[in-house]
Chain A
């Protein structure tokens, strides 16, 4: 396992994409801190990056990487190596490098300009979202044989969770506003990892009113601690479930 991770990491580092990604995050975070003196406002702006850019980069990079390492996977399959080890090696290497890139890129400026609890929560949310979308990308990649199709499915995941789902939720709440929908909406939020991360941030920042209907709702229903605990658990499920499913599919796949 260690050797597989080592080779995958080596392969990822050689493409220099990680360096670029880290640099980009670093520069934009730094720029935000320089433009604004209020750290909590900076965290708000960063939240947008974390909720939109991190999932997008994570899911697209992972899918492309999986298809680019097809040759490596094929080579390993003919060797005395367990399929599970190959898959988990790939997963751990990709997840670690994306998380480290994010933590370095956003974390260093935050450390420089003062690490507030909200900023730390933001870093945690970003890392968890990275892991969620890496899992989803692996699922998209093992579901199809075709690279273009897999990237399409991956992008669809991103569109769905970042844009479409919220629209659907708003429409739902609006259309059925005559009924008591609190519990239903809460259940629906759990079905979207991006919303879950957003809710954690909202509870932390205490600005739920600014962030639309879903946030306000969650805040009123849960005390902060239960809310954070529950949404963290749900996010863990969002990481583990697609990962487990794709591992299962991968170990039965013809290559």
Chain B
């Protein structure tokens, strides 16, 4: 569904993505893992067209995304740090998004209900806590029933109950055959949510296979330990946090 071909991205002298080749297929869910600054968010932003690659191409459903924007109709994005116009209320933001993404679907308001956001519709964004912002971001990502979900650290900053609500939702969507991409440092979450693991280190992909294969290779039952063993075996410095 999404194929990334030899994508490089440099910011001045700093190389953030160094020749990424990756194919993401519908119906699978990918864990994007790597130390801080390994290029995960840059890769995600490249898929969304917010960052333009210095070289290489990204194809969505077979067509290059360069100079295109319609394909974003099919993506729900939950940013790592949700930044919203500070003076708007939650209700206004939700209305605005509905207004701008006028798809044929009826909006999926399950998360708005479960996070009890409707009761806070008149609160302005600048009065919200970090966790509530995350809830708004999550609700917006799922609102338009997109076939692709890109979630950048979805569970960071959420309370335990909300984390479970969100994880259930992600699993349900995955069962619906959607393509899910999740980045996180909490590997136990990823163990439940994803089928494949992509390990990024210093702008290169060092592992790209199913989680089951990784566990079998390293003979570790838990994803956290399996990743740690893989890092040790491949001698990638800087251990992942878990």
Contacts and interface: CB of A to CB of B under 8 A. Distances in A.
Interface of A: 3-4, 7, 11, 14, 69-72, 74-83, 252, 254-255
A11 B85 contact: yes
A67 B20 CA distance: 32
Given A81-B69, A255-B51, A72 B99 contact: no
Nearest to A6: B99
Given A78-B79, A80-B101, A69 B85 contact: yes
Q: Which 9 A-B pairs have the closest CB atoms?
A: A80-B73, A80-B72, A71-B83, A78-B77, A254-B51, A72-B85, A82-B69, A77-B50, A255-B50
Given A3-B100, A79-B101, A81-B69, 13 more contacts: A11-B85, A70-B83, A74-B50, A74-B83, A75-B84, A77-B49, A78-B48, A79-B72, A80-B101, A81-B100, A83-B69, A254-B11, A255-B50
Contact of B100 (A14, A74, A79): A79
Q: Which of B45, B96, B99 has the most CB of A within 10 A?
A: B96
A102 B45 CA distance: 40
Contacts of B69: 80-83
Nearest to A4: B100
Contact of A14 (B75, B87, B97): B87
Tell me which of A78, A82, A252 has the highest count of chain B C-beta atoms within 10 A of its own C-beta: A78
Contacts of A83: 69
A254 B50 contact: yes
B217 interface: no
A7 B93 CA distance: 10
Contacts, number: 52
Given A3-B100, A7-B96, A83-B69, A77 B48 contact: yes
Contacts of A80: 69-73, 101
A4 B45 CA distance: 22
A contact face: mostly helix, strand, loop, or mixed: helix
Interface of B: 11, 45, 48-52, 69-73, 75, 77, 79, 83-87, 96-97, 99-101
26 contacts: A11-B85, A11-B87, A14-B87, A69-B85, A70-B83, A71-B83, A71-B85, A71-B86, A75-B83, A75-B85, A77-B48, A77-B49, A77-B50, A78-B48, A78-B72, A78-B75, A79-B72, A79-B97, A80-B72, A80-B73, A81-B69, A81-B100, A82-B69, A83-B69, A254-B51, A255-B50
A3 B49 CA distance: 21
A45 B50 CA distance: 48
A72 B92 CA distance: 12
A76 B72 CA distance: 11
B77 to A, nearest CB: 4
Contacts of B101: 79-80
Contacts of B83: 70-71, 74-75
A75 B84 CA distance: 7
A252 B101 CA distance: 23
A70 B86 CA distance: 11
Q: Which residue, B72, B75, B86, B97, has most C-beta atoms of chain A within 10 A? A: B72
Contacts of A252: 52
A7 B69 CA distance: 20
B67 to A, nearest CB: 8
A215 B93 CA distance: 52
A11 B70 CA distance: 26
A78 B85 contact: no
